[in-house]
Amino acid sequence: MSVKVASEWLNSCSGCEISIVDMGERLLDVLNLVDFVHIPVLMDHKYFGQTGDGQHLAIPEADVGIISGGIRNEDHLEVALEMRKQCKLIIALGTCATHGGIPALSNSYANPDLLARYYSTESTTPAERLPSDGIPPLLDSAYALDEKIKVDVYLPGCPPHSDQIFGALVALLEGKAPTLRGKSVCDTCPTIREGKGQLKQLRRFLQKPKFTPGEPIDRMRCLLEQGILCMGPVTRAGCGGDSVIPRCISARVPCRGCYGPVRHDGNQRLDMLNALASNGIDIQSLPESTSLLRFSGAHQLLRPQKGR
């Protein structure tokens, strides 16, 4: 008997859904074993019935629920709660779902400031009033899924690699618990590291790193040791999928932290500042502080203070 699967996307960009499609022919193997009973990105299933005459949001019962994106407004929360109610197991897919991701940067500002910035910029006429018809009210901040509902499986990444999504689905179909790598990007990075203490200042990534074109990645000096801010020391490995080598590093680009902290409950930003300080790097030399915040997310990091 096939496994029933329901899928939803909330406060996200659809990159995780594209990663599912990127499984390629393996997706056909999965589709032979699962029955998608609800997946708005692929099939038409109305929340309030196909004719819209329902009184309450309804999602079919499923064995596995896959949710991408965090929770930012009342609609997101309602859908997440219904998914939790109707699904035996919930998978948080992508860093927005597991940690808040880039959208959680909004937690640095109060809602009125966000709305004022969105609807009234230097080049627009001030709005008489903010639109409200048909627009779900914002919550006080952006939340990771497990701050509002119970999550059973975490698959971080922006987006998660299709290899890992496939591996997780296969494991679940076999009755096993999916496992994540417990290493950092640095642990899987093949670049040359010559030791601590040689770098005192960081620079912006406006100039290409030093490497010889045509040579393999393991002949290039560590980007962080070249003075380029790289989040590899405090970011969970996995972005390279089965090939292991980190995606960004393989393109000679520094890690931006998309898989979140190595430990699920870790503080990626604080750990990175500690890593830089322990290497003798002047924290005041950081070229752009927000680069340390992009994927750290909602988990008690960027919650707006009361009264703001």
d(CA 239, CA 296): 16
What angle (nearest 5°) sits at the alpha carbon of residue 16, between those of residues 10 and 21? 125
d(CA 254, CA 192): 14
Note the pLDDT of residue 250: 93
Per residue in 17-51, pLDDT tens? Answer: 999 989 989 988 888 888 989 988 877 777 776 66
How is residue 2 annotated by DSSP? P
3-state secondary structure of 139: strand
Q: Which residues pair with 64 in a beta bridge?
A: 5, 89
d(CA 130, CA 6): 34
Q: What share of the chain is helix, strand, coil (3-state, %, to 5)?
A: 35, 15, 50
Query: Taking all residues of the chain, what is their mean pLDDT, rounded to a whole number?
Result: 85
- Tokens 């008489």 belong to residue: 128
Per residue in 74-85, pLDDT tens? Answer: 999 999 999 999
pTM equals: 0.86
Note the pLDDT of residue 94: 95
- Tokens 């008690």 belong to residue: 300
- Residues 2 and 35: beta-carbon distance below 8 Å: yes
* Sign of the four-CA dihedral 194, 199, 204, 207: negative
d(CA 223, CA 228): 6
Per residue in 273-282, pLDDT tens? Answer: 888 887 777 7
d(CA 18, CA 247): 17
